[in-house]
Amino acid sequence: MAFRVAQISDTHLSEQHPEFTANFDVLSEHLRADAPDLVVNTGDLSAHGELERDDLAFAREKHAALGLDWLAIPGNHDVGNDPQLNGPTPADAERLSRWLGILGADHFRRDVPGWRLIGLNTLLTGTDLPQNEDQFDFLEEALATAGGRAVALFLHKPLCEETVAEEEITYWAVQPRPRRRILDLLARHPARFIASGHVHQYRDRGTVEGLRQVWAPAAAFMVGDTWQLPVGEKPVGYLEHLLHEDGRHECRLVQPQGMRRHDLGLMPGIYPAMRPLVAA
């Protein structure tokens, strides 16, 4: 019997946004019936947790009400974004401590038959907070002591957009410098797969540059092609990972009936207005 992980992502929960709560409620009902062994939320649990505590508390309540074993790592809307982006809400000590106070640990390690699951706070990796070094120590140790276990790595931001050699500072992926640090550790102790969220696109990249990478779709909304370049598919739903004890991994997209495919570009007022892409 494989261990079943439901990877949900980008739930963007807030009492102010009933459309996203409705999607989460449909997803919750589906998950309760399906009863995976573990639910992992790969970040952006909240809509505006980087600004105030209420959305984080609401997200915690909604996850607790699943009645399932669950773990979560933060996204940029939970703890702020990479300081390199020079945006108004950088990840910092205050935002991190708000998450820690309400949702608990921001990274995790969980052993299940044949596997070690590791979740990282990718927003911390762009900061110079002391907790960033602690997390790299944690990762190094978790990889070095995995023994014969297959390793699954869960991140909010994908490790890269197209290639690990990218040098641009972008909104979409782990920044180049922490990416190199993670890759150095993975070179010594490889991961069987890397699963991420954040882009609100489903993309099974297969194995590229020796890394098996898969991007989870969002649960709350997608962003239409008018505003966001499609590099994968844009359903709403989640990923089911089947972890076989012998290290085999299967992954599939699940789209529970009743989840609505909201287009954020058509929902003004939730986030700053989006600008249409200009054709090159």
Question: Which positions touch Fe ion (CB under 5 A)?
Answer: 10, 44, 75-76, 198
Write out the E strands in the chain: 3-8, 38-41, 70-72, 108-112, 115-119, 150-154, 193-196, 203-208, 211-215, 238-243, 249-254
∠ at Cα 271 (269, 274), nearest 5°? 95
Q: Taking the complex as a whole, how short is the minimal distance between the CB of residue 197 and Fe ion, in angstroms?
A: 7
* Identity of the residue, 60 or 116, whose beta carbon is nearer to Fe ion in the bound complex: 60
Strand pairing class (108-112; 115-119) = antiparallel
Smallest separation, CB 43 to Fe ion (Å): 6
DSSP 194-218: EEE-SSS-BEEEEEETTEEEEEPPB
In the complex, least distance from residue 220 CB atom to Fe ion, rounded to whole angstroms: 7
Instruction: State the nearest-atom distance from the C-beta of 50 to Fe ion, in Å.
Output: 10
Residue 70: closest CA among 238, 250, 198:
238
Characterize the bridge pairing of strands 70-72 and 38-41.
Answer: parallel
Q: Measured from the CB of residue 171, what is the shortest distance to Fe ion in angstroms? A: 9
Closer residue to Fe ion in complex, CB, 36/75: 75
Rank residues 10 and 31 by Cβ distance to Fe ion and give the closer one.
10
CB 39 within 8 A of CB 56: no
- Torsion angle, CA of 143/148/154/155, rounded to 10 degrees? 30
Distance, CA of 140 to CA of 199 (rounded, Å): 26
Do the Cβ atoms of 158 and 196 come closer than 8 Å? Answer: yes
**Helix (H, G, I), strand (E, B), or coil: what is residue 8?**
strand
Instruction: Give whichever of 36 and 43 is closer to Fe ion, judged by the CB atom.
Output: 43
Within a 10 A sphere around the Cβ of 280, how many other Cβ atoms?
3
State in angstroms the smallest separation of the CB of 156 from Fe ion.
6
Q: Which is nearer to Fe ion, 78 or 249 (CB)?
A: 78
CB 75, min distance to Fe ion, A = 4
Nearer to Fe ion, 135 or 201 (CB): 201
> For residues 191 and 236, which CB has a smaller minimum distance to Fe ion in the complex?
236
